[in-house]
A = this chain, B = another copy of it.
Amino acid sequence: MVQVVVVGAGLAGLAAARRLVADGHEVVVLEARDRVGGRVEGTTLADGTHLELGGQWIGEGHDRMRALVAELGLETFRTYNDEGRLTLELLGRRTTMAAHKGAVPKLSPFALADLARGLRRFDRLARRTDLDRPWASPDAARLDGQTFESWVRRTLRTRAGRAYFRIACEAVWATETADVSLLHALFYARSNTDLETLLAVDAGAQQDRVVGGSVRVAEAMAAELGERVVLGAPVRRIEQDPDGVRVLTRAGETYAADHAIITLPPTLAGRLEYAPALPSWRDQLTQRTPAGAVIKAFAIYPEPFWRSRGLNGQVASDVGPVKVVFDNSPPTPGPGVLMGFFEGQEARTWARRTPEERRSALVECLVRSFGPDAAAPVDYRERDWMAEEFTRGCYGAHFGPGVWTGYGEAWRAPVGRLHWAGAECAPRWNGYMEGAVRSGEDVAQTLATGGRSSRGGHRLQENARQLPREGR
Interface residues of A (CB under 8 A from B): 141, 144-147, 149-150, 153, 175-179, 236, 250, 267, 270-271, 273, 277, 279-281, 283-284, 287-288, 290-291, 293, 344-345, 348, 351-352, 384, 386-387, 389, 392-393, 400-403, 405-407, 472
CB distance from A150 to the nearest CB of B (A): 5
Chain B residue, CB-CB nearest to A252? B252
Q: Are A406 and B472 in contact (CB under 8 A)?
A: no
Apart from A146-B146, A277-B387, what 9 extra A-B contacts exist at CB < 8 Å?
A146-B150, A179-B400, A179-B406, A277-B389, A280-B384, A281-B386, A284-B291, A284-B392, A387-B472
Chain B residue, CB-CB nearest to A141? B178
Q: Which residues does chain B contribute within 8 Å of A271, judged by CB atoms?
A: 270-271
The 10 closest A-B pairs by CB, nearest first: A280-B386, A179-B402, A287-B290, A178-B402, A145-B178, A277-B389, A271-B271, A400-B400, A145-B149, A280-B387
Tell me whether A267 and B287 are in contact in the complex, defined as CB-CB below 8 angstroms, given that A150-B146, A401-B149 are known contacts. yes
Which of A153, A288, A406 has the most chain B CB within a 10 Å cutoff? A406
Q: Are B144 and A402 in contact (CB under 8 A)?
A: no
Chain B residue, CB-CB nearest to A392? B283
Q: Which residues does chain B contribute within 8 Å of A236, judged by CB atoms?
A: 236, 273
Q: Residue A293 contacts which of B141, B145, B267, B284 (CB distance < 8 angstroms)?
A: B284
Q: Are B284 and A386 in contact (CB under 8 A)?
A: yes
Q: Are A177 and B400 in contact (CB under 8 A)?
A: no
Q: Which residues does chain B contribute within 8 Å of A400, judged by CB atoms?
A: 179, 288, 400-402
Chain B residue, CB-CB nearest to A151? B150
Q: Are A351 and B293 in contact (CB under 8 A)?
A: no
Q: Which residues does chain B contribute within 8 Å of A291, judged by CB atoms?
A: 284, 287
CB distance from A181 to the nearest CB of B (A): 8
Contacts A/B (CB < 8 Å), 13 sampled: A144-B178, A145-B147, A145-B149, A145-B177, A146-B150, A147-B150, A150-B150, A176-B402, A178-B402, A178-B406, A287-B291, A345-B406, A401-B401
Docked complex Cα distance between A145 and B181 (Å)? 11
Q: Which residues does chain B contribute within 8 Å of A472, judged by CB atoms?
A: 384, 387
Q: Which residues does chain B contribute within 8 Å of A175, judged by CB atoms?
A: 402
CB distance from A350 to the nearest CB of B (A): 11
Docked complex Cα distance between A141 and B386 (Å)? 22
Q: Which residues does chain B contribute within 8 Å of A352, judged by CB atoms?
A: 281
Q: Are A401 and B179 in contact (CB under 8 A)?
A: yes
Tell me whether A284 and B393 are in contact in the complex, defined as CB-CB below 8 angstroms, given that A175-B402, A402-B178, A405-B178 are known contacts. yes
